[in-house]
């Protein structure tokens, strides 16, 4: 997806917060259960993981936040056919649960959110401001708010990813890396919902699947190894959630965790059959699906490129 090549994310910026989180995560209870709100994404536990698999892988209330930067500073570079009337604005919130104080502090000090919004502002024009917040929410969640025009990713969701990785037998360092990777996947998924909203993009299929596609595309096209690792991390968390689930919610707007897992793995393989050939060889990705993946990837890449092209800064 050529358009996304303009989007460069420094995966290292999120990696910087790793060590702090370990201490926090270790003290957290494991039964964080998501509340069934309207939002969107949930992740959930595991089966045995095959350590040999590659980085095997894997949505309204925001008032108390404080804007740290931003405003409507029109970015340089002009845009596309559409006027750039807004920016992605990093917003930090005070922690509600002291357990996350250190984590939150580190987010601020290292300007993690600013790093993400800066990259997005350089790549995309916006018809209005969109705020981006990572904070503790009192629930496991991440969502796009159509009313607030905001993306929120909860620390509790990050924590869940960490816990699932630990339950998979990963080391603390590996679990941290997987948590960061999965968080990026969740973030870009929510960004996708945001784009569908603010750009008024059409969709004839499940939006949840479509934005999983966008997240994977961004990770695979706009980042290097870190992006691939993040897509894999997102997949692995969905696998873990599927493995630990006790019931199926066939009425849910999301595809089943297992399907989201296989989709991401398929798209990674679709992007690079040589690099991710092991997915098929070790049985992670069934041959019957694998043969379709390159075509699937090309189709979704073409579709997303055409949809967002008017908003990509030239």
Bridge partner list, 110: none
Q: Is the dihedral of CA 251, 252, 253, 255 positive or negative?
A: negative
The total of other beta-carbon atoms located within 10 Å of residue 258's CB is 15
- Establish if 114 lies at the interface with Zn ion (CB under 5 A): no
For residue 146, the minimal CB distance to Zn ion (Å) is: 12
Q: How far is the CB of 28 from Zn ion (least distance, A)?
A: 24
Nearer to Zn ion, 143 or 262 (CB): 143
Which DSSP string do the residues of 259-287 spell out, in sequence order? HHHHHHHHHHHHH-TTTTTHHHHTTSS-H
Structure tokens that stand for 52 in this block? 């040999």
Give the nearer residue to Zn ion in terms of CB position, either 219 or 280.
Answer: 219
The 24-53 contact track toward Zn ion, x by CB under 5 A, reads ----------------xx------------
Q: Which is nearer to Zn ion, 162 or 186 (CB)?
A: 186
DSSP tally for the chain: helices H, then strands E: 12, 5
**Shortest Å, Cβ 15 to Zn ion:** 25
Burial class (CB in 10 A: 0-12, 13-18, 19+), 207: middle
CB of 207 to Zn ion, least distance (A): 7
Least separation, in Å, of the C-beta of 6 and Zn ion? 24
Nearer to Zn ion, 42 or 313 (CB): 42
151/222 with CB nearer Zn ion: 151
Query: Could you tell me how far CA 289 lies from the centroid of its own chain?
Result: 24
Nearer CB in complex with Zn ion: 40/271: 40
DSSP states along 143-202: EEETTTTEEEEEHHHHHHHHHHHHHTT--HHHHHHHHHHHHHHHHHHHHHHHHHHHTT--
Interacting stretch for Zn ion, rule CB under 5 A, among 179-187, 201-209, 218-226, 300-308? Answer: 201-209
Query: Total residues at the site for Zn ion (CB under 5 A)?
Result: 3
Give the interface with Zn ion as residue ranges (CB under 5 A).
40-41, 208
């Amino acid at each position: 997806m050529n358009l996304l090549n303009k989007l460069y994310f420094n995966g290292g910026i999120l990696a910087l917060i790793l060590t702090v989180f370990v201490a926090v995560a270790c003290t957290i209870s494991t039964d964080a259960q998501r509340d069934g709100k309207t939002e969107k994404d949930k992740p959930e536990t595991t089966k045995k993981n095959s350590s040999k698999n590659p980085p095997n892988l894997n949505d309204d209330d925001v008032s108390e936040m404080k804007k740290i930067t931003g405003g409507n500073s029109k970015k340089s570079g002009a845009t596309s056919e559409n006027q750039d009337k807004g920016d992605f604005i990093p917003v930090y919130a005070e922690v509600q649960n002291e357990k996350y104080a250190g984590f939150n502090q580190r987010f601020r000090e290292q300007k993690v959110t600013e790093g993400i919004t800066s990259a997005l502002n350089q790549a995309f024009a916006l018809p209005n401001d969109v705020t981006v917040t990572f904070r503790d929410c009192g629930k496991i969640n991440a969502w796009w708010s159509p009313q607030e025009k905001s993306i929120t990713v909860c620390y509790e969701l990050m924590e869940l990813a960490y816990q699932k990785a630990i339950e998979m037998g990963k080391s603390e360092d590996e679990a941290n890396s997987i948590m960061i990777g999965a968080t990026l996947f969740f973030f870009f998924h929510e960004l996708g919902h945001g784009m569908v909203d603010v750009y008024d993009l059409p969709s004839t299929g499940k939006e949840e699947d479509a934005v999983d596609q966008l997240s994977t595309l961004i990770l695979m096209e706009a980042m290097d190894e870190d992006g691939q690792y993040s897509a894999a991390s997102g997949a692995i968390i969905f696998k873990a959630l599927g493995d630990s689930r006790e019931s199926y919610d066939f009425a849910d707007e999301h595809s089943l965790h297992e399907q989201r897992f296989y989709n991401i793995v398929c798209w990674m393989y679709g992007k690079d059959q040589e690099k991710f050939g092991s997915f098929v060889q070790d049985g992670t990705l069934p041959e019957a699906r694998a043969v379709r993946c390159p075509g699937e990837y090309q189709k979704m890449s073409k579709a997303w490129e055409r949809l967002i092209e008017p908003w990509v800064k030239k």
